[in-house]
């Protein structure tokens, strides 16, 4: 469970575009604490979990929520045909704005990785504002749903871009990093939202990449 919690916290931080330093400032802990938890080196005390939950604006139980796994038949379809188990949403996140291509290019330098990350922060913020305006102005439900879906796709791209920027900054080999895996994780956690269900999932916010 320790590694699972660390992965979950890392995803949440990346979805919000936060550096370790900024996340630590929000939570009121030192950045080394968050780093150790994310890497599975330590398990946090309950009080630390409560601070992290407040920093990420989620209930404590959300920190332990597992992503929805693909069933075996879906895994087989993906392996054999490259099928999209989320009815096109993964493919949309990869193709929209040539994201997959830009992601591959950004692997080559920290400058390009940071540039992609900043662009996705700005785009995510813009889409959140569109959704919020439609919701507050009582726009037709179909328009609100469209804005929510746009925001979900943007969040998935932002998370992938944040991971790339952070991992490259840490000096890790990113040559094998696949954006499909990252956007799929994010979108699976927002499956209900994409289907038109209740509002859920975190909203990406601006922050540093490292």
Distance of alpha carbon 20 from alpha carbon 209, whole angstroms: 9
**Same domain for 98 and 56?**
no
Distance of alpha carbon 62 from alpha carbon 68, whole angstroms: 13
Distance of alpha carbon 113 from alpha carbon 96, whole angstroms: 17
Give the range of the structural domain holding residue 9, as residue numbers without chain letter.
2-64
For residue range 59-118, what is the model confidence (pLDDT) as tens digits?
888 877 654 443 443 344 343 445 556 768 888 899 999 999 999 999 999 999 999 999
Residues 6+ apart with CB under 8 A from 15: 155, 158, 159, 162, 186, 202, 204
Scan for tokens 């796709």, then name that residue. 153
Residue 109, helix vs strand vs coil: coil
Per the structure, the count of domains in the chain is 2
- Find the CATH number of the domain harbouring 56: 1.10.260.40
For residue range 120-169, what is the model confidence (pLDDT) as tens digits?
988 988 988 898 899 899 889 889 888 888 888 998 999 999 989 988 98
Residues 6+ apart with CB under 8 A from 70: 78, 85, 188
């Amino acid at each position: 469970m320790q590694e699972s919690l660390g992965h979950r916290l890392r995803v949440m931080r990346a979805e919000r575009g936060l550096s370790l330093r900024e996340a630590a400032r929000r939570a009121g802990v030192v950045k080394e604490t968050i780093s150790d938890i994310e890497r599975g080196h330590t398990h946090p005390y309950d009080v630390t979990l409560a601070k992290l939950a407040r920093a990420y604006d989620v209930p404590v139980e959300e920190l332990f929520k597992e992503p929805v796994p693909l069933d075996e038949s879906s895994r087989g379809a993906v392996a054999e045909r490259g099928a999209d188990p989320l009815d096109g949403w993964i493919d949309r996140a990869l193709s929209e704005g040539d994201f997959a291509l830009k992601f591959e290019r950004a692997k080559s330098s920290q400058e390009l990785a940071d540039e992609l990350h900043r662009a996705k922060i700005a785009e995510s913020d813009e889409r959140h504002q569109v959704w919020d305006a439609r919701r507050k102005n009582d726009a037709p439900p179909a328009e609100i749903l469209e804005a929510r879906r746009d925001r979900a796709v943007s969040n998935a791209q932002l998370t992938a871009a944040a991971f790339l920027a952070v991992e490259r900054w840490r000096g890790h080999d990113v040559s094998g990093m696949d954006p499909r895996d990252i956007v799929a994780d994010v979108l699976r956690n927002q499956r209900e939202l994409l289907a038109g269900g209740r509002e859920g999932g975190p909203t990406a916010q601006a922050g540093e990449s490292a």
